């Protein structure tokens, strides 16, 4: 894979995670369109790199072993630390809903009601990621390029957009799910796209969005057009081209996406009462805690698995770490 694709996705994912964090902090500002695009990009990126790495033939046992090594241990460690923090604060975590969160099935719980446990904020994305991994071997084969696949993708997109209208959940489940599916198709089939066509979509989608809202007061197309822009942006990142070298320092934060995703909503602090200052302080605290937890998690993974397994290549690690964002 061209190094510019890897670099540009890395930069985009770091920007995306901070976009989601900002949308949770600045609740009075309508940042949900940007957060929706960010979540789509995370879903697309995770499945795109998984498709590139594994293709359509998967050793399921080895596949899941890597998930536990790279994702499961760190996830449980972080939840354990968060649970201890909540107990210190006098929050209630002794509820059976906590067991659902520990199992990674918070998204299922979100479909039937709010969590009664203080733990589990925004973990629907993690549940979606687990379901994606469970279904990947089947989806990778089903989405290999063919005329039937094109029709299936179109019908799937329509169905998910309709579900977004008919089943309001308060978070971007359906569009993010579409990002996962389209990412598999792009990754498994190693799509080669013309930059000009994708760039045209990148310009046309926001212009249509503004025209529909300002000129016609038509809001029904907001989510489809946001999805179109998010898809165009994701596809643009798959095309080798000019690397975002001036943003390369952001890549150092890519390793901590899982930790930032899981902890950010618990570590918002407001010591000064000034919104921007407190947001900056919260970001520093979140990133610092994420770094500490990441190193602790990696040490634990090495201790558990090192005697029996070789280190996982950096390229393979991306499929887990790039997926993590918060819930919009």
Give domain status of residue 103, yes or no.
yes
**Three-state SS for 281?**
helix
Q: Is 167 part of any domain?
A: no
Q: Report the number of distinct structural domains present in the chain.
A: 1
Of 20 and 245, the structure prediction assigns the larger pLDDT to 20
pLDDT at 272: 97
| CA proximity to 320, closest of 328, 312, 308 | 312
Measured distance CA(114)–CA(111) in Å, rounded: 8
* Dihedral Cα 38, 130, 101, 161, nearest 10 deg: 50
**pLDDT value, residue 2:** 67
Position 312 scores a pLDDT of 52
Q: How confident is the model at residue 215 (pLDDT cuts 50, 70, 90)?
A: confident
DSSP 8-class letter at 214:
I
- Residue 293: inside a domain: yes
Q: How confident is the model at residue 308 (pLDDT cuts 50, 70, 90)?
A: low
**What CA–CA distance (Å, rounded) separates 302 from 310?**
9
Q: 314 lies in a domain?
A: yes
Range of the domain at 305: 3-150+173-192+240-321
pLDDT bin (cut points 50, 70, 90) of residue 1 is low
* Structure-block tokens of residue 216: 């016609």
pLDDT for res 241: 84
The stretches of 57-190 forming alpha helices (DSSP H) are: 60-67, 73-88, 96-102, 106-112, 124-142, 147-166, 173-188
For the record, the structure tokens of 171 come out as 């978070």
Would you state the pLDDT for residue 326? Answer: 36
**pLDDT in the model for residue 124:** 93
According to the model, what pLDDT value does residue 316 have? Answer: 47
pLDDT score recorded for residue 169: 85
**Residue 87: inside a domain, yes or no?**
yes
pLDDT at 325 over 50: no
Question: Per-residue pLDDT tens for 23-36?
Answer: 999 999 999 999 99
Q: What are 74-99's pLDDT values in tens digits? A: 999 999 999 999 999 999 999 999 99
User: Is residue 70 pLDDT above 60, yes or no?
Assistant: yes
Mean residue pLDDT of the chain comes to 90
184: in domain = yes
Is 313 inside a domain boundary? Answer: yes
**Residue 33 domain-assigned?**
yes
Question: pLDDT band at residue 170, thresholds of 50, 70 and 90?
Answer: confident
Average pLDDT over residues 290-299: 97
Query: Which pLDDT value is given to residue 113?
Result: 80
- Compute the distance between CA of residue 77 and CA of residue 278 in angstroms, rounded to an integer: 27
């Amino acid at each position: 894979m061209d190094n510019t694709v890897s670099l540009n996705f890395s930069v985009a994912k770091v920007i995306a995670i901070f976009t989601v964090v900002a949308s949770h902090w600045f609740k009075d500002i309508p940042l949900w369109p940007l957060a929706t695009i960010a979540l789509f990009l995370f879903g697309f990126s995770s499945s795109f790199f998984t498709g590139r790495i594994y293709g359509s033939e998967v050793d399921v046992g080895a596949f899941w072993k890597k998930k536990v090594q790279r994702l499961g241990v760190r996830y449980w460690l972080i939840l354990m630390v968060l649970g201890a923090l909540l107990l210190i604060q006098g929050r209630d975590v002794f509820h059976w809903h906590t067991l659902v969160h520990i199992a990674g099935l918070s998204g299922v719980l979100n479909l039937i009601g709010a969590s009664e446990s203080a733990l589990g904020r925004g973990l629907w994305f993690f549940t979606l990621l687990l379901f994606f991994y469970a279904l990947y071997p089947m989806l990778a084969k089903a989405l290999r390029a063919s005329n039937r696949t094109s029709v299936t993708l179109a019908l799937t997109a329509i169905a998910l957009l309709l579900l977004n209208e008919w089943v309001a959940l308060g978070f971007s489940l359906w569009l993010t799910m579409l990002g996962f599916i389209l990412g598999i198709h792009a990754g498994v089939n190693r799509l080669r796209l013309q930059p000009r066509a994708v760039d045209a979509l990148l310009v046309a989608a926001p212009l249509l969005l503004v025209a529909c809202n300002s000129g016609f007061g038509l809001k029904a197309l907001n989510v489809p057009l946001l999805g179109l822009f998010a898809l165009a942006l994701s596809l643009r990142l798959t095309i080798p081209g000019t690397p975002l070298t001036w943003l390369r320092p952001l890549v150092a934060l890519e390793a901590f996406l899982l930790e930032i995703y899981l902890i950010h909503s618990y570590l918002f602090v407001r010591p000064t009462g000034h919104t921007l200052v407190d947001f900056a302080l919260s970001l520093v605290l979140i990133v610092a805690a994420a770094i500490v937890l990441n190193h602790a998690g990696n040490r634990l993974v090495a201790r558990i698995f090192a005697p029996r397994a070789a280190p996982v290549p950096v390229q393979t690690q991306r499929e887990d770490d790039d997926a993590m964002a918060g819930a919009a």
